[in-house]
Amino acid sequence: MLNQSIRRATLALSASAAFLLSATALAQPDATPIPGQPVVRFDGQRVVTVTVTSMRELLAVMNIAESVWTHTPGVGPVDVQVTPAQLDAITQLGLAVQVKIPDLQALIDAESADIRARRAQRDLTWFQNYKTLAEINTYLGQLAAANLATVSSFTIGNTLLGKPVNGIRITGPDLPGNLKSARPQIMFNACQHAREWVGPMTVMYFADQLLAGYGTDQRITDILNNSEVIIIPVVNADGYDFTWTTNRLWRKNRRTNGDGSFGVDPNRNWSYQWGGEGASTNPSAEDYRGPSAFSEPETQNLRNFVLANPRMRASIDFHSYSQLILSPWGWTSALPPDATIFDQLNSDIRSAIASVNGLFYTAGPIYTTIYPASGGAVDWNYGAGSTPRKILAFTIELRDTGANGFTLPADQIIPTGQENLAGALSLSESIAFPVKFTFPDGLPANADTGTTTNFRVNVVASPGSTLSTGSAKVFARPGSTGAFTPATLTLISGTTYTATLPVSTCGSNVQFYLEAQTPAAATGRSPASAPTAFYTPPVQQTVVKYTDAAETSAGWTIGAAGDNASSGIWELAVPQATAAQPGADHSLAGTKCWITSAPAGASVGANDVDGGTTTLTSPTFDATTPAGFQPGDAYIEYWRWYSNDQGSAPNTDSMPIQISNNGGSTWTQLELVTDNANAWVNKRFKVSNFVAPTANMKLRFIARDLGSGSIVEAAVDDILATVVTCPCKPADFNCDGFVTGEDFDAYVDAFTAGSLAADFDGDGFVTGEDFDAFVVAFEIG
């Protein structure tokens, strides 16, 4: 987010950049101070949330504050950065003020101390600490040197102060009929804005993981054999260096503007619609557009690079923070010609990111999702190109949503990298292959025995193309030999189909791949290198041990020792929709679910969980393998809803969900819910990863509001316990899943004892016929 004085500049309020002065200590560890340039400090400054009730109050607050941190300020809560005197002035207006960051300088100092401490730790990986410009360039060089077959490095040009801006391209070696020189390109760059430190770390993480995954991970290998990934970590190298030496919160480049101010905002300096809305003409402003389009070497460098790489089809320009996926346009609220494509890709990237750590980034066009901004890289990349060179360009604002802002703790680099790698791979697949296949419920972990197995597949042609009608097929074979037999997928709606796998024997594997065509006769497959590669889920039987549609409360317990919530107590009811809770249960059958108070009430904060905890405990259920089956894997599954992102103190609570295998005497955590899907989310856990499955299992859901006054709504529906297994093979006499000498000995013992267990043919008598039949079965295995 752009958290600076631009609003004040545009609203012609008061002078702004004065806080960027006065200093003593270094901004960051081991940084070399620039002679004559004191380190900028933020002593005594805070970030506070002020609740304003009119535009008048809003303007008054914006006029007083050092800067505004909320990106679309309006009536309601507004985050502002203030000096002690400014805070006094706001308080004197009689407005409600809540402290968000009590000491800005302390936050920066804590970050320095953390970086220093991490440097002293020898066992940390490269991605567990922030890195200087020099360190990033060194690592980039090492990656290139260690992967000569797949990487080449380049410099796109020098910055204003003469620093090289480096990048690497990654693609698999030439293959027959698939030359490197013909592959579509995708670019991931970061750090147009200097202080957004998690950006360069994130794209470096991509480079690291792509190289580690090439040749070892099927998905990454397929992507890199069919596209070229370009990574440019630090576009604004001067600014980035300056955040390490002098001012941790510097955003722009280091242009001397001539009026005593410094810096042009690179992301307002691109030529497409340069000079429009959402960019400043004031050289002191944080979104200063520069004297002319492409006046800055940093933007010229990247433009020239893009123009010199005409196979580029997509790009993501990484920024921080706010957790947003942004698509064109920034300069206008009008939708771009490819709005449908962008909607689809936004939602693909969003789901991919959420699948990793459960964080749902908000997706949409720049103008309406964050704010109007003209002269940005995304608009130029998409708008200035012409068919077929239109680049599908995105901005991603990385973590977090404001708790730490630009000074994101270093232990969030890897989770940020992981979730965004998932998004980046999803986008790469869209441009690398003629057809993209995704699995809304995941790939089938196992196929059912005795019946066909259905699963959902999304089939989408690469952006700008279409699918040939009826061309989407699944090719499958039961077992591991013979030909793959095609079966046409059944269209459900839109781009979603049902694929059906053939009946197969329990304990074997069913092998399959998917295929579809475009009118240009391009064939896409999943996995991409099928039929050399294919999916091969084990065929098993799912035995349902417990199912509860949450339509009756029999056996459930509301409340537990220590519960102290004053409202929002769990109840079984039909929920009423609010911004925080569902308007219907999850299941197709029935209408009820467990909900933390069903009535909507007068506002979103009415009837949510307040004042403490409320616990919901399930009936006891059995998760053991049934008789006659091999020891199987028990799974517990449920649908849940959780919302904690509404109101004035969002994301301050969480909901533990726990499991017990001893009827509730002791509990083990399955998950701590913090993600705000604001939708029904299915969760499935393998019980043995938490506790041994027994006949005495329980689940409990602890919704809570721990004093912050945040809005908490939770719901639970459709609980299911299953055991995935296969019937015992005939000669597996002790039913442990293996036919061995032990089975033979056990059978002989039973036979000798005349036990009915030895009645192998089930005719009610133990005779020599049983013995012979057992021996035949034993020899088959």
List contacts with ligand 0X9 (CB under 6 A).
1-2, 193, 196, 267, 319, 326, 330, 366, 370, 373, 376-379, 395, 397
d(CA 663, CA 698): 6
In the numeric block, the tokens 């504050």 are attached to: 65
d(CA 402, CA 775): 70
The yes or no reply on residue 704 touching Zn ion (CB under 5 A) is: no
Per-residue three-class SS string for 511-528 = EEEEEEECCCCCEEEECC
The yes or no reply on residue 399 touching Zn ion (CB under 5 A) is: no
Judged by beta carbon distances under 5 to 8 A according to partner kind, the member of ligand 0X9, Zn ion, none in contact with residue 766 is none
The yes or no reply on residue 268 touching Zn ion (CB under 5 A) is: no
Taking the complex as a whole, the smallest distance from the CB of residue 275 to ligand 0X9 amounts, in Å, to 13
d(CA 453, CA 500): 6
The yes or no reply on residue 193 touching Zn ion (CB under 5 A) is: yes
Dihedral pair phi/psi, residue 669, rounded to 5°:
-75, 130
How, if at all, do strands 312-320 and 392-398 pair?
Answer: parallel
Judged by beta carbon distances under 5 to 8 A according to partner kind, the member of Zn ion, ligand 0X9, none in contact with residue 395 is ligand 0X9
Cβ-contact 387, 92 below 8 angstroms: no
Judged by beta carbon distances under 5 to 8 A according to partner kind, the member of Zn ion, ligand 0X9, none in contact with residue 370 is ligand 0X9
The yes or no reply on residue 319 touching Zn ion (CB under 5 A) is: yes
Taking the complex as a whole, the smallest distance from the CB of residue 16 to ligand 0X9 amounts, in Å, to 16
| Closer to ligand 0X9 by Cβ: residue 249 or 489 | 249
Q: Please choose, out of 315-323, 356-364, 588-596, 701-709, the segment that lies near Zn ion by the rule CB under 5 A.
A: 315-323
Active site residues: 397
Taking the complex as a whole, the smallest distance from the CB of residue 526 to ligand 0X9 amounts, in Å, to 32
| Closer to ligand 0X9 by Cβ: residue 131 or 193 | 193
The yes or no reply on residue 255 touching Zn ion (CB under 5 A) is: no
Cβ-contact 207, 231 below 8 angstroms: yes
Q: Please choose, out of 144-152, 226-234, 319-327, 467-475, the segment that lies near Zn ion by the rule CB under 5 A.
A: 319-327
How, if at all, do strands 668-673 and 67-68 pair?
Answer: unpaired
How, if at all, do strands 593-596 and 570-573 pair?
Answer: antiparallel
Residues sharing a CB contact under 8 Å with residue 729, sequence separation 6 or more, in sequence order: 507, 739, 777, 781
| Closer to Zn ion by Cβ: residue 265 or 732 | 265
| Closer to ligand 0X9 by Cβ: residue 321 or 667 | 321
| Closer to ligand 0X9 by Cβ: residue 372 or 538 | 372
| Closer to ligand 0X9 by Cβ: residue 7 or 586 | 7
Q: Residue 382, by phi and psi: left (phi above 0), alpha (psi -120 to 50) or beta? A: alpha
d(CA 460, CA 429): 11
Using CA atoms, how far residue 485 sits from 216, 447, 470, 475, in Å, is 28, 16, 16, 5
| Closest to 676 in 3D by CA, of 588, 579, 601, 566 | 579
Residues sharing a CB contact under 8 Å with residue 133, sequence separation 6 or more, in sequence order: 163, 234, 237, 240, 241, 244
Taking the complex as a whole, the smallest distance from the CB of residue 266 to ligand 0X9 amounts, in Å, to 9
Considering only residues 544 to 563 of the shown chain, the ones binding Zn ion according to CB under 5 A are: none
The yes or no reply on residue 195 touching Zn ion (CB under 5 A) is: no
Q: Which two tokens stand for residue 195?
A: 């202080």
Taking the complex as a whole, the smallest distance from the CB of residue 648 to ligand 0X9 amounts, in Å, to 22
| Closer to ligand 0X9 by Cβ: residue 377 or 691 | 377
Judged by beta carbon distances under 5 to 8 A according to partner kind, the member of ligand 0X9, Zn ion, none in contact with residue 633 is none
Q: In whole angstroms, how large is the CA radius of gyration of the chain?
A: 30
Q: Please choose, out of 185-193, 428-436, 471-479, 625-633, the segment that lies near Zn ion by the rule CB under 5 A.
A: 185-193
Judged by beta carbon distances under 5 to 8 A according to partner kind, the member of ligand 0X9, Zn ion, none in contact with residue 391 is none
